Amino acid sequence: MKLLSPSRAVIAVAVALNAWCLATALSANEEGAPPPPAKKPTESPADAKPKPGTPQKANAAAKTSPKAAAGASDSAKDKQPEGEKNKAGAAEKEKPEEKDEKDEKPAIHKVERGEFELKVELEGVFESGQVTPISVAPEAWGELAVVEVVPHGTQVKKGDVLIRFETEKLEEEIDNLRAGAPLEDLNLKVARQELDALEKSTPLSLDNARRQKMEAEQDMAYYEDVTRGMRERDAEEDVKRIEQQLAYAREELDQLEKMYKADDLTEETEEIILERARNDVAYYEWIAEQTRARSQRALTTSIPREHDAQRRNVENQHLAWRQAESGLPEALKKKRLEIEAQERAREKSRERLADLEKDLAALTVKAPHDGVVYYGASSRGKWVTAATVERKLVPGGRLAAHEVFLSLVKPAPLQIRVAVPEAKLRHLETGQKGFAWPSFDADAEFRTQLKSVSFVPYADNTYDAVFTVPKLGADAPPLFPGMTGKVRLDLYEAEDALTAPKKAVHKDADGHYVHLKDGTKRRVKVGKANEKAYEILGGLKEGDEIKNP
């Protein structure tokens, strides 16, 4: 272990002893205990003599200031052996941290007179007095594909083309509508002719259906009352008449045979007569057989079938009449509705053709007046959609109908639109005058006046105020809409005002007050206030000391 020289050891011990005495005294004062009584020196410092063997440097070190003593003590600690250093460090850690009561005490402010200013500074945006939003509102066409557009910031004249859109498909549809118009007219003409004929034929067809139904009913009644009975009797009478004729022929043949039989010698003439009679009998027998069959057929089949046919005809005519009664008027009504639909379709086709022709002209957008082209839409002086729209304003980019993609701005006259925080709104009054300057050049200051202020808040809880921008000289920097700027209103100024910090002035139901240095509460009369201080009009005088928390 390395030992200190005797002189250095004595100095270190003296410095440490002096530092301990000072620390003990401070600790006693902080705890409220009275300091120990000072011992009367028995001899003046000038007459003090150093003890034998003690160097003069020790006394000099003992007379150093507490700060120097502390520094010397730290130096002595640095030169202590490592073991002693560790013990000293542990002892210091075990000491409780002393509370600094000085930091808890409020600061004291001395009331003074001086310059007092009330100014309001606001940030705003230069905007044009005339901003025309540019958008396309097609009547019928929905596809807006960009072909070319003027660059942002381009100065244009009235009538200059701002943007062109793709029109090939639009032109094709216009051509198709124009080509189909004559056919629509012809179809409508034919339909009207058919309707005219149907309106004339419908009453006739209804009357015919009623007449046919009535005739069928009459025929059926007559058939049942007359015709069927007569048909059945005809069949029976036919059989009866043939059988009578057959009987007559047989009787005549029988008489001839009896007459010629008595004569043994039959002459040739007689034989001929007999042959004819026999033939007549055979013929009538055949006719009788046919007649019986036909009569049987008529009675059992044909006549019942005729009756059924008459009944079916009556039913069919009834159905036809009912169908005509309901169907023909409905068919006429349907035809009228079809023509109305054709007329509407033709009208819509003509309207669409006219709308598409307007859209074709609108897809080449021209400047409505002179100005500067800005991308996007303006809101409260800011180009809020510029970044979004710029990505669309390229060849092939697609825009939405009614979307504001350009704004045509007149560069002059300008005004400054300010978003006023609610805390500063109370200071504004229409007609106030102040100063303004662009953010990029604080030296380019010019006079301005509050043109209008709105007390309706926006979503961000700010309020709109508009300041004028006068006509500036030729040496003024160029100003364009969209640039930012600042406005300052000098509302109040006093060169010899008594002021107090805002934190030192309190308020209750009776008014404003301060706390003096000794804690006394004193009422004060305040005037104007800025962000830092109040103007004191009464209750305090220059030199008073107040608490400033």
- CATH for 289: 1.10.287
Residue 1 lies in a domain: no
Residue 204 lies in a domain: yes
Residue at a domain's end among 346, 379, 409? 409
Q: What is the pLDDT of residues 414-452, one digit of tens each?
A: 999 999 999 899 889 999 999 999 999 999 999 999 999
- Which stretches of 98-178 are assigned E, i.e. beta strand? 107-110, 112-128, 131-134, 146-149, 155-156, 161-165
Residues 6+ apart with CB under 8 A from 520: none
Distance between CA atoms of residues 44 and 54, nearest Å: 18
* Long-range contacts (CB closer than 8 Å, 24 or more residues apart) made by 96-104: 98/27, 98/30, 101/30
Q: What is the pLDDT of residues 108-144, one digit of tens each?
A: 999 999 999 999 999 999 999 899 999 999 999 989 9
Distance between CA atoms of residues 185 and 90, nearest Å: 112
Do residues 450 and 537 both lie within one domain? yes
pLDDT score for 22 = 53
Residue 539 lies in a domain: yes
Is the CB of residue 104 less than 8 Å from the CB of residue 320?
no
Do residues 313 and 371 both lie within one domain? no
- Tell me if residue 95 falls in helix, strand or coil: coil
- Tell me if residue 375 falls in helix, strand or coil: strand
Residue 427 lies in a domain: yes
- Mean pLDDT across the stretch 22-26? 49
Distance between CA atoms of residues 275 and 277, nearest Å: 5
Distance between CA atoms of residues 101 and 119, nearest Å: 38
Q: What is the pLDDT of residues 34-89, one digit of tens each?
A: 444 444 333 433 344 443 333 333 333 333 343 333 343 444 444 444 444 444 44
Residues 6+ apart with CB under 8 A from 453: 420, 425, 428, 429, 430, 463, 464, 465, 466
Side chain identity at residue 458, one-letter code: Y
Residue 474 lies in a domain: yes
pLDDT score for 30 = 42
pLDDT score for 103 = 52
Do residues 349 and 245 both lie within one domain? yes
pLDDT score for 36 = 43
Do residues 220 and 270 both lie within one domain? yes
Return the percentage of the chain with pLDDT > 70, whole number.
80
Return the percentage of the chain with pLDDT > 90, whole number.
58
Does pTM surpass 0.85? no
pLDDT score for 99 = 44
- CATH for 377: 2.40.50.100
pLDDT score for 33 = 42
Do residues 525 and 420 both lie within one domain? yes
pLDDT score for 435 = 95
Q: What is the pLDDT of residues 299-311, one digit of tens each?
A: 899 989 999 999 9
The residue count for the chain: 549
Is the CB of residue 453 less than 8 Å from the CB of residue 464?
yes
Distance between CA atoms of residues 471 and 512, nearest Å: 46
Position 336 pLDDT exceeds 60: yes
Do residues 309 and 234 both lie within one domain? yes
Do residues 62 and 111 both lie within one domain? no
DSSP letters of 17-81? HHHHHHHHHHHHHHTTPPPPPPPPPSS-TTT--PPTT--HHHHHHHTS-HHHHHHHHHHHHHHS-
- Tell me if residue 520 falls in helix, strand or coil: coil
Strands 484-501 and 414-421: unpaired
What is the C-alpha R_g of the chain?
65
3-state helix, strand, coil in the chain (%, to 5): 50, 25, 30
Do residues 320 and 195 both lie within one domain? yes
Buried b (16+ CB within 10 A) or exposed e, 229-244: eebeeebeebbeebbe
Residue at a domain's end among 341, 376, 409? 409
Q: Which of 189-193, 255-259, 277-281, 383-387 shows the lowest mean pLDDT across its residues? A: 255-259
Per the structure, the complete domain to which residue 351 belongs is given by 169-362
Side chain identity at residue 527, one-letter code: G
Distance between CA atoms of residues 284 and 282, nearest Å: 6
- Tell me if residue 546 falls in helix, strand or coil: strand
Do residues 263 and 388 both lie within one domain? no
Tell how far CA 305 is from the center of its chain.
79
How far from 469 is each of 31, 464, 480, CA to CA, in Å? 68, 16, 12
Count up the domains in the chain and report the number.
4
Cross-strand pairs, 114: 497
Side chain identity at residue 160, one-letter code: D
How far from 8 is each of 61, 80, 415, 442, CA to CA, in Å? 11, 11, 80, 65
Higher pLDDT, 179 or 85: 179
pLDDT score for 34 = 44
